Amino acid sequence: MNGIPGVIHIYSRQKLSWFYLPWAITVFSFLINYIISVLVNGEAFYAGGLATIFIYVFIAALVSVLQLFPFSLGFSIRRTDFYLGSVLMVVSYSVITSIILLALAEIERFTGSWGDRLSFFKLPYLNDGTLLEQFIIYFILLLTFAFIGIGTGVFYLRHRGIKTFVMIAANFIILSGASVLITQYGWWGQVIDWVVKHTAFELSLWLTPISVILALVSYRSIRKSSV
């Protein structure tokens, strides 16, 4: 296999994990939520099942790096080519998935929330902007979760188990500590007010530099990673 095309070929053979499984889970989640919406007698029902696909992208990116990196090196693919091929894969996947999610959101709107007032793909606040803004929101969210997965996988390849556990634990402690401080000083009202003052599209743009930083750090780290 040669370079980036070889990496793309390897990813293209992962149809179950990247294409079939996430949508099977999403459809299952949708059906469960639709049944629940029927049981609540047609009252407005807002499901959070859409988050499943974003979480899945994180897991798929993480597992793919851990599994495919050693496999790719076995075919004499350079570390740089593997990383660039992986980035091209997640960017393409994010574009295609964003288009599908946008189309499903529009179908949901045309069908009057599937005839039973179920909001699954088209949610208040998240889908309040133009079609282009909604596409960008989906794309940035998917890309950010993918790069977090790739970054975590590369960190493990570079530093192995103990340091990876410490890194994850440190992030958890920082987030938990911030939550405790906000609660302690009663800042949640200000946080919510700040969020409400911005659209979902504006907030999603804040994730762009995070994705860029993750991509650059991961690129630097994978060049020193071992199998």
What pLDDT sits at residue 135? 94
| CA 124/CA 172 separation, integer angstroms | 29
Residue 24 is which amino acid? A
| CA 161/CA 34 separation, integer angstroms | 41
What pLDDT sits at residue 199? 86
3-state SS, residue 187: coil
| CA 191/CA 10 separation, integer angstroms | 44
The secondary structure of residue 46, as a DSSP letter, is E
- Between residues 40 and 154, which one has the greater pLDDT? 154
**Percent share of the chain, pLDDT over 70:** 96
- The two structure tokens encoding residue 105: 């959101």
What pLDDT sits at residue 179? 80
- How confident is residue 44, by pLDDT bands cut at 50, 70 and 90? low
Judged against a pLDDT cut of 90, whether residue 31 lies above it is answered with no
User: Please, what sign has the CA dihedral across residues 27, 30, 36, 37?
Assistant: negative
The answer for residues whose C-beta is within 8 angstroms of residue 49's C-beta and 6 or more apart is 26, 29, 30, 32, 33, 120
Judged against a pLDDT cut of 70, whether residue 227 lies above it is answered with no
Summarize pLDDT for 163-222 with one digit per residue, the tens.
777 887 887 888 888 888 878 777 777 777 877 788 888 888 888 898 899 888 888 888
Residue 119 — φ and ψ, nearest 5°? -100, 105
Judged against a pLDDT cut of 80, whether residue 1 lies above it is answered with no
- How confident is residue 37, by pLDDT bands cut at 50, 70 and 90? confident
Its pTM stands at: 0.88
Judged against a pLDDT cut of 60, whether residue 32 lies above it is answered with yes
Based on its alpha-carbon atoms, the radius of gyration of the chain, rounded to whole angstroms, reads 20
What pLDDT sits at residue 167? 80
- How confident is residue 133, by pLDDT bands cut at 50, 70 and 90? very high
What pLDDT sits at residue 58? 92
- Residue 45: its H or E element: strand 45-46
- Between residues 162 and 23, which one has the greater pLDDT? 23
CB atoms within 10 A of CB 163: 12
| CA 85/CA 3 separation, integer angstroms | 8
- Which of 35-44, 148-157, 168-177, 190-199 has the lowest average pLDDT? 35-44
Find residue 45's DSSP bridge partners: 118
What pLDDT sits at residue 3? 80
